[in-house]
């Protein structure tokens, strides 16, 4: 009798670390760049205080398929704003091999995507990293970027909630051993940045073009639905833009508003990240290039990390909770 594994968040976190997530996500971007995968568009349900998304993906090289269901409720106070589950399938039979927590996976794979993009696009001598937004995604963003740019000496954090920013700075300093300073304003955080990561649900731009110094690399993470925008449109249009997925980004990424406004066209988008990983297109050309990674979050990233979790746990003596799916 076949059974389906139930994998908790603690089990997920014990089975995969950021180094493993970086490797898994980078390989999946390579497969995406080579067009060796299936990933239909994300389905959105608008809910009273947020939205529910269904994200399917299939990677023949992994011999696995998955659907992630993820809620985005930024107004949540007593719990996380991002809550998800992922079902992993055997593509040969359609049998559900595992149902696992996807909240931790979402944080890991989003951080890992920024890490891959930063490795390929940011200057090798980058020393100052600035984060706008101290929410649940911030720690994994910091961890991934520090792994690929270990010369970073100083981190700035800004959040509208100053107490949250202070708490993040203390936690990050203790965990990663890097100096983390709270910036009182977004401008104060942005101006010195060699690498800038934005992690907010903003619908009105919070980063202005005149704050950006030459050679900066930006990871724009927050815009993941139509109408969201963290960077002023002129800044986005002036950058060397790399998106995770062209179709998804034009509908829901940082580029979606500039395209609708006419400030930017798809011809102004340089590449998908998978094309860079696969060596099909170039990344940074000069030290003064302003590069931008528009991250919307791909189901393939979730699948890559979920596969790592499932295979590691299946290969150990750990007894996973299971239930009979078919009788």
- Identify the band that residue 327 occupies on the pLDDT scale cut at 50, 70 and 90: very low
Token match 């979790």: residue?
A: 309
Same fold, 3-106+300-324 and 110-298: no
User: Residue 318: its pLDDT value, please?
Assistant: 57
The 10s digit of each residue's pLDDT in 198-209 is 999 999 999 999
Q: Which of 290, 226, 285 is closest to 259 using CA atoms?
A: 226
Domain 3-106+300-324: which CATH number of 3.40.30.10, 3.30.420.40, 3.40.190.10, 3.30.1780.10: 3.30.1780.10
pLDDT at 115 over 50: yes
The 10s digit of each residue's pLDDT in 212-259 is 999 999 999 999 889 999 999 999 999 999 999 999 999 999 999 999
Task: Tell me the C-alpha distance between 222 and 44, whole Å.
Answer: 16
Write b or e for each residue in 2-17: b if 16 or more Cβ atoms lie within 10 A of its Cβ, otherwise e: eebbebeeebbeebbe
Token match 């995406």: residue?
A: 32
Q: How large is the greatest C-alpha to C-alpha distance in the chain, in angstroms? A: 63
pLDDT at 324 over 90: no
Write out the DSSP string of 60-96.
Answer: TTTTEEEEEEEEE-TT-SSS-SEEEEEEEE-TTT--E
Task: Tell me the C-alpha distance between 216 and 197, whole Å.
Answer: 11
User: Residue 325: its pLDDT value, please?
Assistant: 53
Q: Look up the CATH superfamily of 110-298.
A: NAD(P)-binding Rossmann-like Domain (3.40.50.720)
Query: Is the model more confident about 158 or about 83?
Result: 158
- Average pLDDT (267-278) is 98
User: Residue 267: its pLDDT value, please?
Assistant: 97
What are the structural domain ranges in the chain?
Answer: 3-106+300-324, 110-298
Task: Return mean pLDDT, the chain.
Answer: 94
pLDDT at 78 over 60: yes
Catalytic residue among 2, 68, 213, 281: 68
**CA triple 268-244-205, angle to 5 deg:** 65
Task: Tell me the C-alpha distance between 297 and 286, whole Å.
Answer: 27
The 10s digit of each residue's pLDDT in 84-103 is 999 999 999 999 999 999 99
Query: Is the model more confident about 73 or about 9?
Result: 9
- Identify the band that residue 110 occupies on the pLDDT scale cut at 50, 70 and 90: very high
Task: Determine whether 312 is an active site residue.
Answer: no
């Amino acid at each position: 009798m076949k059974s389906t594994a139930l994998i908790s968040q603690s089990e997920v976190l014990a089975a995969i670390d950021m180094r493993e997530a970086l490797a898994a996500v980078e390989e999946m971007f390579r497969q995406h760049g080579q067009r060796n995968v299936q990933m239909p568009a994300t389905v959105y349900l608008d809910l009273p205080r947020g939205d529910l998304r269904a994200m399917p993906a299939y990677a023949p090289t992994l011999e696995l398929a998955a659907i992630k269901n993820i809620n985005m409720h930024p107004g949540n106070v007593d719990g996380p704003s991002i809550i998800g589950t992922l079902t992993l399938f055997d593509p040969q039979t359609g049998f559900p091999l595992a149902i696992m927590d996807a909240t931790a996976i979402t944080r890991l794979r989003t951080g890992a995507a920024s890490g891959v993009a930063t490795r390929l696009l940011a200057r090798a001598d980058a020393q100052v990293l600035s984060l706008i937004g101290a929410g649940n995604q911030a720690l994994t963003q910091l961890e991934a970027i520090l792994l690929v740019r270990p010369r970073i000496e100083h981190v700035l954090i800004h959040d509208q909630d100053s107490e949250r920013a202070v708490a993040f700075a203390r936690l990050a300093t203790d965990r990663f051993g890097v100096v983390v300073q709270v910036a009182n304003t977004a401008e104060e955080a942005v101006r010195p940045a060699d690498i800038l990561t934005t992690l907010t649900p903003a619908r009105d731009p919070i980063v202005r073009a005149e704050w950006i110094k030459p050679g900066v690399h930006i990871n724009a993470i927050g815009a993941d639905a139509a109408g969201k925008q963290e960077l002023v449109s002129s800044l986005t249009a002036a950058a060397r833009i790399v998106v995770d997925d062209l179709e998804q980004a034009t509908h829901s990424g940082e580029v979606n508003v500039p395209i609708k406004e006419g400030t930017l066209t798809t011809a102004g988008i340089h590449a998908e990240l998978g094309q860079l990983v696969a060596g099909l297109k170039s990344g940074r050309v000069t030290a003064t290039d302003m590069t931008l990674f528009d991250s919307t979050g791909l189901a393939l990233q979730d699948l890559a990390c979920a596969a790592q979790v499932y295979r590691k746990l299946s290969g150990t003596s750990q007894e996973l909770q299971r239930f009979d799916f078919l009788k």
